[in-house]
Amino acid sequence: MRVGLIRALSTTDRRLLHAHGRLLHKVFGYDVTTRCIPDQPHGVYDAASYEAAGPKVAELAREMAGGVDALIISCAADPGLEEARATVGIPVIGAGSAAAAAALAYGGRVGVLGLKHPVPTTISRALGERVILLDGSDGVETSNGFLLPTGIFNSLSGAQMLAEAGADVILQASTGLSSIGMAEVLRRELGLPVIDAVTAAGSMLTAAVSMRTPQPV
């Protein structure tokens, strides 16, 4: 399947740009084309950056739609998701809403690990009372912070705190954690299910496409 992946983060670093596409190809075998929105080197991390990203994501979705079978918005805040869905005729999956749906499917209490700023509304609204604690990694202001040794350490300590508070599953509420492969580290350290937002989007896309494909009689 040809998948267009939209990064809500501006970067010229090709390794960082294609990190999520490589993950989706490894796990699902997707043929991924990745593009990023302009003028947001720190991505989406608060209300202002979310509002700024939405129209850019929707415009990029329109540009990419003709050459792919589906689109993934690789940002836990899902900027521009509804606008993109309203303007293209192919499936559009948001990483944040996909991760929330996966957390709900697990059952139990959900510990949300993300940035220092408030958890994206798309996640907190979906989880409702299932969230035991909304925790941001201390000092990690933007997703780029996870690329630093301090970001990795703070993520580990934040996840451990959520586990100690009684979380049954950890939801990574920043795709910056996907860029550093944090889910596998946390699963190994905590012995708990850990939902990576990028792979959750890939799983939801696979399910959505299978539902649209006619089955043999």
Give helix 149-164 / helix 182-190 axis angle, nearest 10°. Answer: 40
**Residues found in the chain:** 217
Contact 155, 181 (CB under 8 A): no
pTM of the model: 0.90
pLDDT 10s digit of each residue in the chain, 217 long?
999 999 999 999 999 999 999 999 999 999 999 999 999 999 998 899 999 999 999 999 999 999 999 999 999 999 999 999 999 999 999 999 999 999 999 888 999 998 766 667 888 888 887 776 654 555 577 787 788 877 788 888 889 989 999 999 999 999 999 999 999 999 999 999 999 999 999 999 998 777 765 545 4
- Give CA separation, 214 vs 30, 33, 207, 209, in Å: 20, 26, 13, 10
The pLDDT value given to residue 89 = 94
d(CA 207, CA 114): 26
Q: Do 91 and 204 meet the contact criterion of CB atoms below 8 Å apart?
A: no
Dist CA 72 CA 25 (whole Å): 13
Give me the amino acid identity at 88. Answer: V
Q: Which secondary-structure segment (H or E) carries 94?
A: strand 92-94
State how far Cα 135 lies from the chain centre.
16
